[in-house]
Structure 1
Amino acid sequence: MSANLYLDHFGFTERPFSLSPDPDFLFWSRAHARAFSVLEYGMVTRAPLTVVTGEVGTGKTTLIQALLRRLDPNQVVGLISNAQGDRGDLLRWVLNALDVTHPDAADYVTLFQTFQDFVLKVYADGGHVVLIIDEAQNLGAETLEELRMLTNINSGKDELLQLILVGQPELRQLIERPELRQFAQRVTATYHLDPMDFVTTREYVRHRLTHVGGSGDEFTDQAIRAIHGESTGIPRIINKICDLSLVYAASAGQDLVDMATIRELIEDGLILRPFKEPLFLTNRVDRPRKAAE
């Protein structure tokens, strides 16, 4: 069934639960509002380092896109996603994000000088540089330390360079390692975005439905409760389940998504649960085997 069929069936102007990050659909839950306020605080105060973390699919990238819409014209922004590599590779990522040309065969000193000259020029023109690094948990300890060293370009009371790091919970664990204590000390503001509870999930679903012209009551409370349980409150998974639910309901000629619809989705195997590591309350110790008698 095409998506248009359920759009016509429910009278929606567009898909309410697309998986692509879209600031137009941003739902300001309490947690998302706080996370965004931390990002804005970092921007307004020109904090050298701001960190926001959260599980996969909690809406971090959507918050970044919303932030980009509110930036000051004097802020020169570079957005980096999935940066990986060794020493020197980071500077190439940074220069590419800022659209700064540099020789392909340039060594580290040349790359750093090119970056420093660019930052100083922006500052001389009345602006400052902001680097936003998404999926920052992919950076290793050495790369994070290299990022910290970049902030040494800041001097006096003026901040010429700001860094905003966004990533999964592993990023926070990485920053808390002893060898990165100098990096952690420069983090001015940080926030961890938790999954949504049931009440917030219900408000989230209704928000997206009304945004596309729906009534907001196309899902029963029992169905939303089941969706919350299956998704554990992760917005991306909520979107996936809701989108499929609408397809199933429309194909059956139903005006409501009810518990039976969600149960059918589960029975048909359309909901894939993420793998979770087993929980050990203590360090597992293998028992020694008895010697053969």
Structure 2
Amino acid sequence: MTVNEFYLGYFGLEQRPFTLLPDPEFLYWSEQHRKGYAVLEYGIMSRAPITVLTGEIGAGKTTLLQKLLAQVEPGVTIGLVSNAQGNRGEILQWVLNALNVEYDQQASYVENFQTLQDFLVDEYAQGRRVILVFDEAQNVSVEGLEELRLLTNINSNKDELIQLVLVGQPELRDLIRNPRMNQLAQRVAASFHLNRMDREGTGAYIHHRMKTAGGSGQEFSAEAIDLVYEATGGVPRLINQLCDFGLLYSWTDDVREVQKESIQAVLDDGTFFWTEDRREETRTNV
């Protein structure tokens, strides 16, 4: 028996509704996500030097990003960097690798910077825009962010040769607001922060994912959704974890509707690996 066979047939589902992998097919367009996507799209279309999207862990940032990148028009070169770390010089190498630009690892910083600049000028001459996306950008040091800012100085007098999209956790906002980062902050032309969903949004999110997976959307009782919201603080990734086990527990108990008791059992058994302290932190942090 595979993982997918456990409760799918029991609930009449075609696929698992609550996986942890970002999947644009399951994207729930809450008001927050609509606004976040609109800001991302605006940043790209308006040729903003730097666009910033932040949100808590599991808020749906990467899913929005993947949705956007899948719809970018032809004639755009995209470089995606995930979990980059490092200081001056190392960030430049991440950028060159993301854009598939060959360079000499033994070359000096100036030489590698010139290699990147030549590539950007050539792309511009061919009528192509270059967008560089940094996911989990909160891991980049202050020095690394400053190095990225310098890339936006490469221009053709009237047009930016490279656009930056920085996506990360709330700490990224704090980094950019650092007084040392004033020059970077001034280059941010579009930004948005994804907040947690409220109780109503949590219920609509669960309904949407169940419907998308082939269900009716009514598999969770209102009381079960209340407890899911209380335990997760409205964070999508945590909702996915808890609801997935809620379906599993209901299947093993031969219960056709996920009840509050099943969700409580998941919490009591420690199957949902999220401590009380972390749940409190999720509820209180913005």
TM-score higher than 0.5:
yes
Which consecutive residues of structure 1, in runs of 5 or more, have no partner in the other structure? Answer: 280-293
| Counterpart Cα distance in 2 of 1:173 and 1:276 | 21
Measure the CA separation in 1 of the matches of 2:280 and 2:211: 39
- Aligned match of 1:282: none
**Matched AA of 2:239:** I
Q: Distance in 1 between matches of 2:245 and 2:266?
A: 8
The number of residue pairs the alignment matches comes to 279
TM-score by length of 2: 0.95
Give how far 1:263 is off.
1.2
The 8 Å contact of residues 58 and 235 in structure 2, kept in 1 or not, is answered as: yes
Within a 5 Å distance, the mapping from 1:15-164 to structure 2 comes to 15-164=16-165
Q: Please report how far the alpha carbon of residue 267 of structure 1 lies from its aligned counterpart in structure 2 after TM superposition.
A: 1.3
Distance 2:278 2:260 in 1: 26
Shift of 1:86: 2.1
Stretches of structure 2 lacking an aligned partner (at least 5 in a row): 282-286
Q: CA deviation at 1:272?
A: 2.5
* Match in the other structure for 1:260: 261
Q: Spell out, residue by residue over 1:25-48, the C-alpha distance to the aligned partner (whole angstroms, 9 max, x if none).
A: 101000001000000000110000
Partner of 2:284: none
CA distance in 1, matches of 2:143, 2:50: 16
Is residue 187 of structure 1 aligned with residue 219 of structure 2? no
Contact 2:59 2:236 in 1 (8 A): yes
Matches of 1:54 and 1:167 in 2, distance apart?
A: 7
Cα distance in 2, alignment partners of residues 264 and 56 from structure 1: 25
Cα distance in 2 for residues equivalent to 1:168 and 1:155: 32
Are 2:135 and 2:168, in contact at CA under 8 Å, matched by a contact in 1? yes
Q: Give the partner amino acid of 2:199.
A: F
Does the 8 Å CA contact 2:232/2:279 hold for their aligned counterparts?
A: no
Alignment of 1:161-172 (within 5 A): 161-172=162-173
Q: Which has the larger radius of gyration?
A: 1
Deviates more, 1:136-145 or 1:266-275: 266-275
CA RMSD, 1 decimal: 1.5
Q: For each residue in 1:11-63, what CA deviation from the matched residue of structure 2 results, as whole angstroms up to 9, or x when unmatched?
A: 10000000000011101000001000000000110000000100000000101
Q: Secondary structure at the match of 1:153?
A: coil
Deviations 1:70-119 (A, max 9, x none): 11111100000011112111111001001111112121011101100000
Give percent identity, aligned residues only. 50
What CA distance in whole angstroms lies between the structure 2 residues aligned with 1:56 and 1:141? 21
- 1:3–1:247 contact (8 Å) kept in structure 2: no
Tell me whether 1:212 sits opposite 2:213 in the alignment.
Answer: yes
Q: Which runs of 4+ in 1 moved over 3 A?
A: 274-279
Helix, strand or coil at the partner of 1:14? coil
Contact 2:54 2:193 survives alignment (8 Å): yes
Residue 129 of structure 1 contacts residue 162 of structure 1 at CA under 8 Å; is this kept in 2?
yes
Give the 3-state SS of the residue equivalent to 2:52 in structure 1.
strand
Distance in 1 (CA, whole Å) between partners of 2:155 and 2:77 is 16
Q: Which amino acid aligns with 2:57?
A: V
Structure 1 residues 252 and 276, CA gap change in structure 2 (3 angstroms): closer
1:270 aligns with 2:271: yes
Question: TM-score w.r.t. structure 1 length?
Answer: 0.92
* SS of the residue 2:80 aligns to: strand
The answer to whether the Cα contact below 8 Å between 2:223 and 2:259 also exists between their aligned partners in 1 is: yes
2: CA distance, partners of 1:127 / 1:5: 48
